[in-house]
Amino acid sequence: MRSVALGPAPSFDAVPNFRDAGGLPTVDGGRVRTGVLYRSGHLAGASPADLERLSGIGVRVIVDLRRDGDIAVEGENRVPDGARIVRIPIGDVDSTLGVDVRSLFAAGDVDAIHRAFPPGAAHAMMMRGARVGVEDELFRMRYASALRAVVEADGVPTLVNCSAGKDRTGWTVALVLLAVGVDREDVVAEYLRSNDAARPEPPRAAAVPVGLDRSRLEPLFGVRAEYIENAFAAAEEGWGSMDAFLEQGAGLRDTDRQRLRDALVDPAAP
């Protein structure tokens, strides 16, 4: 994996997994600009100082990928004055397989959690969830809408968020980076940066129930290269290549990709 100058990860009081998605090279010698595309977990707990930081870096568009159920528990995003929220609800990996992780942990019933997650089930959920975002038409169209929101921002500093900022946000940002010409290896490296910020606790749970076998849930806590590679594989199996998937599966026309490049990429020096 190449060493690349990735965008910085500013310090926030209560905005999880925040970072700049810029700094990556493109295959034609350009570089993704910093200060234009950001990603994070939800902003519901953002402190006044956090809002000042977001305002200071110019964030004006927030693409919120959370479902109503996520927002009901976590709260609405707190955003800087003058910023607008674009809501594009996308199901999390648990919703793709009919398991409500949030409710299980809220109930605190360890036996129920163990029944829902026998050994290997959490890993299988993450692997399947990665493919559902590609194979399921509704999910795919929601991701297409998220891409459209970034296109239509036209270079206005934009933040993409979901609950933890690692799965739904990770796939959305990966597609944007691929669309502007970032090498896949570097896209995977950027995706894996969420592990630097991920907290070793069950997702969307305030406390670990006593007696829980945490090893069963470890695959849910962060991201792994095999997750996003499984999504790539689904796209290539269904459409032949990632370029074809971006065009036919995600609805990105050549003009859209050029619009993204104009907004996000500093071209190679002549």
Residues annotated catalytic, as ranges: 162
Contact 74, 42 (CB under 8 A): yes
Closest alpha carbon to 6 in 21, 18, 26: 21
Whether the CB-CB separation of 86 and 63 falls below 8 Å is answered with yes
Contacts of 243 by beta carbon, 8 Å cutoff, 6+ apart: none
Q: Where are the alpha helices (DSSP H) in the chain?
A: 48-56, 68-74, 93-96, 101-107, 110-116, 121-135, 137-153, 168-179, 184-192, 194-197, 218-221, 225-239, 242-244, 254-264
Cα–Cα distances in angstroms (integers) from residue 81 to residues 2, 13, 55, 85, 190, in the given order: 39, 18, 8, 11, 29
User: What does 110-158 look like in DSSP terms, one character per residue?
Assistant: HHHHHHHS-TTHHHHHHHHHHHHHHHSHHHHHHHHHHHHHHHHHTTS-E
